[in-house]
């Protein structure tokens, strides 16, 4: 059976399956067997390709951050002017993809992991740096020297609004979150 070049295919399937299973249970209490089964292979093969459970989780989170990065770049490409750039970041941050059960589960558990797993913490700071840099590009022309402080506040506000939308009862309201973030900006720029 050995069709060569299986590795990337298998790894991709496992990453996808990991994200689904973590989203389904809402926790990292997912067995390698469950993941492997959903990905259509044996648990032994999952170990063969990833070496362990933690590495599977990190690969899954890396994948989610990659998608988020792509979405952000896509929105930025269409943006016009500093205001447009900021709006693009907000749109990407509160996109439908980020409110899918699987993405939510990944993020919340990722934060838990970042407490103790160096690899997770590194990944998190990559995300935060990228977010800040994207915000700064829009803020610098509008706020000058205050851009730095505004980016810190806006970044935290985005995370906080996401947390609340995601854990509240009823469906999340991306538009409301974006409106609150824009109000923050308006107050600081107007």
The residues binding its own copies (CB under 8 A) are: 25-29, 104-105, 108-109, 111-112, 114-116, 121, 124-125, 128, 149, 152-153, 155-161, 163-164, 167-169, 180, 183-184, 187-188
Tokens matching residue 132: 């800040």
Dihedral sign (CA 163, 182, 128, 96) = positive
Mark the segment that binds DNA (CB under 7 A) among 40-48, 64-72, 84-92, 132-140: 40-48
Write the burial class of residue 56 (CB in 10 Å: 0-12 exposed, 13-18 middle, 19+ buried): buried
Residues sharing a CB contact under 8 Å with residue 189, sequence separation 6 or more, in sequence order: 142, 143
How big is the site for DNA, counted in residues (CB under 7 A)?
A: 24
138 binds, options its own copies, DNA, none, Cβ within 5 to 8 A by partner type: none
Q: Which does 53 bind (CB under 5 to 8 A by kind): DNA, its own copies, none?
A: DNA
Cβ at position 183, least distance to DNA in Å = 44
Q: Taking the complex as a whole, how short is the minimal distance between the CB of residue 126 and its own copies, in angstroms?
A: 13
| Nearest CA among 38, 94, 30 for reference residue 68 | 94
Q: Which of 12/152 has CB closer to its own copies?
A: 152
Q: What is the DSSP letter of 28?
A: S
């Amino acid at each position: 059976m050995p069709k060569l070049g299986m590795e990337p295919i298998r790894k991709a399937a496992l990453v996808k399956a990991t994200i689904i299973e973590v989203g389904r249970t809402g926790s990292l209490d997912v067995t390698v067997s469950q993941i492997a089964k959903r990905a259509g292979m044996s648990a032994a093969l999952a170990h063969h390709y990833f070496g362990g459970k933690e590495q599977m989780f990190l690969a899954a989170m890396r994948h989610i951050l990659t998608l988020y990065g792509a979405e952000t770049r896509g929105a930025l490409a269409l943006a016009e002017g500093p205001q447009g750039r900021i709006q693009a970041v907000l749109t990407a941050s509160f996109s439908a993809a980020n409110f899918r059960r699987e993405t939510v589960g990944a993020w919340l558990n990722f934060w838990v992991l970042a407490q103790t797993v160096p690899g997770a913490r590194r990944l998190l700071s990559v995300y935060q740096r990228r977010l800040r840099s994207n915000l700064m590009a829009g803020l610098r022309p509008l706020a000058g020297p205050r851009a730095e402080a505004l980016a810190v506040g806006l970044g935290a506000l985005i995370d906080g609004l996401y947390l609340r939308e995601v854990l509240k009862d009823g469906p999340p309201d991306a538009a409301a979150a974006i409106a609150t973030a824009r109000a923050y900006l308006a107050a600081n720029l107007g």
